[in-house]
Structure formats: C-alpha cells, structure tokens
Structure 1
Amino acid sequence: MTSSIKLKAQTHWSLNPSLIINTPARMKKTVAFSLVFLSPLVAAQDLTDGQVDVVSARLAESALQSWEIGTHLQTILELNATTYSVLNTKVSLPPPSTVPSNEQSALAPFFQLTKQVVSNRTTANNNTAGAQPFLPDGSAADPASIGVGVLIANLTGQDAGQVNYAGAATDQLDYLLNVVPRTSDGAISHRVSEVQLWSDFVYMVPPFLAYYGVTTKNRTLVAESYNQIKLYRQYLRDNTTGMWRHVLMGTSGNDPGFWSTGNGWAAAGMLRVITTIRQSEFANTFTNEQTDLANWVQEIHTATYPHLDATNVFTNYADQPSTATGNFYDAASTALLAGTVYRAAILLKQHASVPHAEKSRKTLFSTNGTAPDNNSGSFTGYAHFDSNGWLMPVVNPHSYGVQGTQSPEGQAFVVQLHAAHRDWAAAGSPGENGALSSVHVGPTALLLGVLTSLAVIAL
C-alpha cells in the first residue's frame, strides 16, 4: 500500500437530507472512537426489519456525495423495489413503465433523489449546456453512479414535462464518452483532471453504460460497458495475487495496495453488468463477455477470501495485517464483499466462497444478548453497530487509508448484504451445505472481541 492518501473529491453541491426520505431527526452523533469488535459473539442472526429501517435511515440522512447517492439508489432497488433491480433474476429489461402498486412507496425516496439531482444540475454545473455530469465532482466516474436511477425515472415517466431525465442522462453519457480523458487504449479516466484509474470505477460507470444501452437498444454501449471493465482489469489486476490494485496512474494519489473496498466495488459492478446483459435482448450475442465477467468476479473472491483471518472481518487492505500503516479492520468492505458472494451464488452458481460470506455475515450481525423481535430497531449488544445503527469499524469513505466513524457507503453495504442473503435464502441457499460445515461461532472467536478505546461524545 502507499503512504500517500488522497481524499475523494467532495461535491460542492449536496442534497437536503430532509427531502430524501422521511426519517427520524438526526440521532446523536458518536465521534472520536476507535472501536474494534472483531468477532461473532453469541447469537448469529439476520437483521430485523426494524434494524434494517434504522440502518437505511442513517444511509438516507448521510448519503450526500455523488457516489453515495448512486449507491443509495441501488440499495433501494435491491431491498424493496426489486422489479427495477437488475439483480432480480425474475425480471427482464427494459423494466415496466408503470411502477407496481406494491413498490410505489419504496420508490418514493428513490424518485425524490433523482428529481432533486436532475432539477439542480444546471445550477450546480454553472449553467453549462450539453455534455456534463449529473453533479460537479473531481471524479469523472462517481456522478455516473446516479445514472441508472435517472434512466428508471425517465422510463417510468416521472415528472413528465417538468424534469428532463432523458436529457440529463444523455448529457452524462456524452460527458463520459467525449469529454473525460482516457488512456491510449481507451480506458475512461476515473478522474477529471488527469488520467487515473480507480477500482471504484467499475461500480460507477459500466452499470450505467450497460443499462443505457439495454434500455435504448444500443448494442455499442452494452459492448462498451464490458470493454471498460476489461481495460480496467488489465491495468489494475495483479497477476500474482489475483486482487485488484486501488489507484494507478496520474501524478499524485496513487494507491497500489489491494484495498478491500475497491475489490468489492469491482465485483459488485461486474455482477450488475452481467445481469443487465443477461436479462436483455442482447443476452445471446454477449455470451463470451458474460463468461468473462463471471470468471472475473470469481477471481476476486478466490483472491481476497484467503486473507480473511479468524475475526471474519477484512482489513482495509486485504493482504496486510491490521497493524500495518493505514490498515485496520473494516466492516464496510466485509459487508460489500459478502453481499457479492451471495449474489454470485444465486446468479453465477459460484459457491466456493459462501462459507466465508456466512462467517462474515454472522459476525457482523451477531449480538451478545437475546435476539430482538422483528420490529425492534435496537442494536444494544451488537459488536459491529453502535446504538444509532452505524456500522463499525469502517474506513473513512473520504480518505481511504484512515479509519472513520460513520460511513454512508458502509450503511448501504449492510443493507445490500441483508438483501443479498434474503434472496440467497429464497433461492434455496445454494452452497449452504458447505457453509454449514465450515462455520463455527465459539468461545475462541468470542475472546477475539477487542475494545481498544472508547470516547463517546453525544452531540
């Protein structure tokens, strides 16, 4: 890993949290802590509906940066609006133009978000006309993560005649394809100011390109979604370890380490592209590409999970011990990667990593007390959530070599993991037998729970 830490670009425009979703008032904020509970405790369980609501509320009130908004949108689809989730194997693309009555409530905050982004983009981008991102950002890729949401708003006729979703999506696409710098062989830069490649890109851009292509019958765009992943893999995948490096190229901020979240971003993005293609009219003409993408997802799982230690929680850089500079245990990447394993088990029939995902899930979702009832939103007794429902410990989402306290993307990864496990169980728990023989939650793991320091300030 590198000692040079580059902050993620901050968006100068942000959402008003009160307009995002009806949530309780912002709860007390817990700061200045380093809390590392590293093991499963007594009761391994699923999160209750009440707990998922609490985690989702923290996500809704905190997801203000471009990639956080895009990840929030995707999380809503995976949890409660699965008719519009490409990870739902029972739907085909394009999706229905009329929102089913049983998903209208779930999609209300989704459409609030897309409307606010598109309605404010002209002002946010200083009255720019033509090619432009949904939001101004130092990252060329992160705003594109909002693109699938904007396309769904357009396809379902939201705010007809009032908000130009189609035009906004076209401008974002034009910006990516014709304004953002590229490598000599065509890889679109993750950054605006110079060519620099980040593993995060695979979650932000290719799913948008694929979805745009499928919903507009543009085979070239579908092909480009695959091509961008192929190029990024050629640059970022390490042939020795099989893992993806985080940031390469550019004049500063390189991070050649095997960032756990970055590997999770790449796997999750590829899964979305695979299923977008598979459920479209182009499925039979991209069979080789789908095979490649499936193999590349498996590569990441095969390469990263051997580094999961007895705590069942990944370190920030998967191959480095928690004591290394810039390293610590990170529940956010652990949740993200585990969610992709369940999805791969359902979608790709890849089961080898299911035992590891089960260990991680049970560790993250365990309590040392009595399991709460399904309506309870309490996290009392949970090692990996504070009393307000924030996942911990987590990497600072704005400075990837620093431990943080509250991570919007970490909250999204928790909900995505919950939804992926739910769908995996509904599909018959493929790979379960192997997992059951491998998972053990016992006293040794209990002793690994370490409280290193705690200073709570209630604001």
Structure 2
Amino acid sequence: MSSTLINNIILQKQRLATHSWEYGALAEVLLEWYTPNASVFGGNPFPDGRIPVIQVDTTPSLSYVKRHISTNSDTLIDGDGMLLRKEDPVTGIFPPFHQTSSLAGAAGGPASLGVYAILIGQTQDDYLSAAEPQVNYLLTAVPRYTNGAISHRESVAELWADFIYMAPPTLAYWAIQTDDAGLLATALQQCILYRDVLGVPANAKSAAGLWHHIVGPQSQDLGIWSTGNAWAAAGMSRVLATATKSRHSGDTKVKSGIAQVKDIVKAILDGAIARDNAEPGEPLLGNYLNDTTWFGELSGTTLLTATAYRMARLEPREFGPRYTEWADSKREVIMKKISSDGLLSPVVNPLNWGDRTPRKESPEAQSFAILMLAAHRDFTSR
C-alpha cells in the first residue's frame, strides 16, 4: 500500500474526529502506525517494567492528542468530546480547554485518552497528574451495574460494548505506571463482567459468543452490532497485550484474568466467522450480525480483522491459520473499498447505528483501517 493512501486515510480521520473516543482512537492509530515499539503490541512495551519515555513533540500520537487533553479536571475531556478547539489561523495556537459538564455524556469516552496522558506524563508531570483523577473517577464516581461492571454512561448504569476499547486499556496502563497487580486484575475483570451481561450464551442457537450492543435503562440495544463486537474484541486485545507483557503476568488473579479474557476474544472472533456466510454474495460482515437484512459494512469488519491479526501475533498457538486466513480474506476485500482519497465505504453512521442508509464517511472506520494495516504489518514481520 502506498504511503500516500495511508496518509490520506489518516488525514480523513483527523478531519472527521470530533468526539472524545474518536480522539482516543486516532491517538492509538498514530501510536501503532508510527511508533509501534511504544504501543502495548510492541516487542518490549515496558522497558524495565515501566512505561516508556518518548519525546512528545516528535511522536505523532502524543503531539496530536495533547491538544485535546484537559489537565485540570476529574476527566481528561468532557464525556462527548464535542468541544471543537480550532487553532487560531494567525497565531496557530489552540485556545484554552474549557471543561463542560461531565455529566452530559460517556464515562468511557474521556478514559480513551488515558494511555496517552500517561505517556506524555513521563516527561510532563501535569499530564501524569491528570491521568490519576481520570482513573479514580472511573473507579469511584461512575455508576456500577448490578454485577460491579463500570457504567459506560455517567448518569445511569448502562453497559455498552464500546466501553471495552476505551476504559480497561487505560486502567491496565495505569496499573503498569503504579506497579499495581490488583488494578491490572481489575482491568481484566471489567472485561469479564461486561461479557457476563452482554455476551450471548454459548448454548444459543445463533450468535453464540458474540455480544449484545447495549444493556441498560436508557439506550438498550440487544442487537449484535458488528462494530460493538469489534470495539470489545480489540479493546480486550490491548488489555491482554498489556497484562501478558507486564511483570505481573504470573500473579494468580492476573493470570486467571488473562486466560478468561483470551477465551472471550476467541468467542467473539469465532462468532463473527460463523456469521460471515449468513448472506451469500456479501463479503463484508453485516452491520448487525444477527440480522441478514442489514447491509455489509466496513467498520466492524475492519476492526475485527485487525483483532484477528493482533491475537495471532500475541497468542499464535490459539489463534492460528483459521483466524489469519479469515483475516486475509477480509483484508483483501477491505482494501478494494478504500477510495484514492482515503475514505472507506460503505460504513454505518457511528452515532446512529440503526440508520439503514450506508454512509461514505465514518471517523471510526478510518481509524480501524490503519489499525488493521498496522496489525497486519506487525503480524507478517514476525
């Protein structure tokens, strides 16, 4: 793939990103693509058991995301991240960040910036100081579901599959920063608690192992949303990479959590592969995996493909050719659906997952394309 096309995909993502989790996803994209050794998927992501020290200004991920992080609040950005801070055309300076009501949106969204605040904080203390209240906010201020799972919403206990990509990776990363095996086990346990509520039972006639999208009193969606399953599986792959490469991987609770979360990711990928042929002639996964009336869509397909490559690299004995051959077939289709200007289509409206009109723009799909390319590059460079 040409560097021009990759740059175009990233530029389109930068243009489209306007929400907290979209900033966090792009920061992860830039880290995995441009600075792979510093990501949790790198060969030695925690030198001497610690968070790596990298230069902020010369690291695309950190120089990009820094402008979106608040250092004087309980959370790193407001819940929905809709504060569009544009640089002054004359001075090139971004205006100060003004925190809005954190009760307006998602608890998971602001947490998606946590990993990068911690990385910046290795050389700039105010960002490290900002990461701690964000973690504490998740652990102590956010509502809990009846089983102890941290809510994705700030105003009501509600579990969304998306949360797993946003919050547990930050909890796990802060556990490395603080050398806290208990918190690392908590990050893994949150994934398990979410599965316990959202997961389709293994004895179900169809969609076994996959997750419902949302369970809760306000936004409940019991459909098997492809993108939601992808968010969850990809987030768990990040938590697994953090845990298995930490010095606490042998801790009893951490070790048990790793084994369980690995099985959960496997079940999601198995479920997606099993549903792949639900609609003959459609090479993409449907927007809802349990409903063949939906159009084939790139967002969920692309991130699940990325996750298959990541798990094959992380756990090659358990995620062998069945997963990589499936990923190869999906990647081939996906690449043909990226236009020369870097846009992926067809994609679902990420803010209205029930919209049956295929779209030509999605900030999430743009991120997922680079995550897939980075995962494939790293897998094939073994």
- Shared fold (TM-score, shorter chain, > 0.5): yes
Which of 55, 58, 68 matches 2:9?
55
> 1:241-279 deviations in whole A, cap 9, x for unaligned?
2111000121x3211011011111111111111111111
- The one of the two structures with greater contact order (alpha-carbon pairs below 8 A, sep at least 6) is 1
Q: 2-side partners of 1:72 and 1:273: how far apart?
A: 18
For 1:318, the equivalent position in structure 2 comes to: 289
Q: 1-side partners of 2:325 and 2:197: how far apart?
A: 30
> 1:147-188 deviations in whole A, cap 9, x for unaligned?
101110002x14x5xxx2122211211211111111232111
Q: Which residues of structure 1 form unaligned runs of 5+?
A: 1-46, 126-131, 367-383, 428-459
Deviation, structure 1 residue 392: 0.3
- Does the 8 Å contact 1:248/1:256 carry over to 2? yes
- Does the 8 Å contact 1:134/1:144 carry over to 2? no
- Does the 8 Å contact 1:236/1:246 carry over to 2? yes
For 1:457, the equivalent position in structure 2 comes to: none
Deviation, structure 1 residue 66: 0.5
Q: 1-side partners of 2:41 and 2:12: how far apart?
A: 24
- Does the 8 Å contact 1:117/1:134 carry over to 2? no
3-state SS of the aligned residue for 1:394?
Answer: coil
- Say which structure is richer in helix: 2
Deviation, structure 1 residue 133: 10
- Does the 8 Å contact 2:282/2:296 carry over to 1? no
3-state SS of the aligned residue for 1:208?
Answer: helix
For 1:404, the equivalent position in structure 2 comes to: 359
Root-mean-square deviation over aligned CA pairs: 2.2
Closer/same/farther in 2, CA of residues 84 and 137 from structure 1, 3 Å limit: farther
Which of 241, 261, 268 matches 1:275?
241
Q: 1-side partners of 2:4 and 2:53: how far apart?
A: 31
- Does the 8 Å contact 1:200/1:265 carry over to 2? yes
3-state SS of the aligned residue for 2:164?
Answer: helix
Deviation, structure 1 residue 121: 5.5
Deviation, structure 1 residue 227: 1.4
Q: 2-side partners of 1:219 and 1:196: how far apart?
A: 27
Closer/same/farther in 2, CA of residues 281 and 176 from structure 1, 3 Å limit: same
Q: 1-side partners of 2:191 and 2:268: how far apart?
A: 13
Q: 2-side partners of 1:273 and 1:247: how far apart?
A: 21
For 1:257, the equivalent position in structure 2 comes to: 223
Q: 2-side partners of 1:134 and 1:347: how far apart?
A: 40
Which of 330, 347, 350 matches 2:314?
347
Which of 183, 187, 207 matches 1:221?
183
For 2:28, the equivalent position in structure 1 comes to: 74
Which of 294, 319, 335 matches 2:262?
294
- Does the 8 Å contact 1:133/1:171 carry over to 2? no
- Does the 8 Å contact 1:70/1:146 carry over to 2? yes
- The code of the aligned residue for 1:365 comes to M
Alignment: residue pair count: 344
- TM superposition score normalised by structure 2: 0.85
Deviation, structure 1 residue 417: 0.5
> 1:85-124 deviations in whole A, cap 9, x for unaligned?
001134334233244xxx964x145234224422586997
Closer/same/farther in 2, CA of residues 365 and 420 from structure 1, 3 Å limit: same
Deviation, structure 1 residue 192: 1.3
Q: 1-side partners of 2:200 and 2:257: how far apart?
A: 21
Which of 79, 102, 119 matches 1:152?
119
- Does the 8 Å contact 1:139/1:191 carry over to 2? yes
- Does the 8 Å contact 1:331/1:364 carry over to 2? yes
Deviation, structure 1 residue 391: 0.4
Confirm or deny that 1:414 pairs with 2:381: no
For 2:53, the equivalent position in structure 1 comes to: 97
- Does the 8 Å contact 2:152/2:159 carry over to 1? yes
3-state SS of the aligned residue for 1:207?
Answer: helix
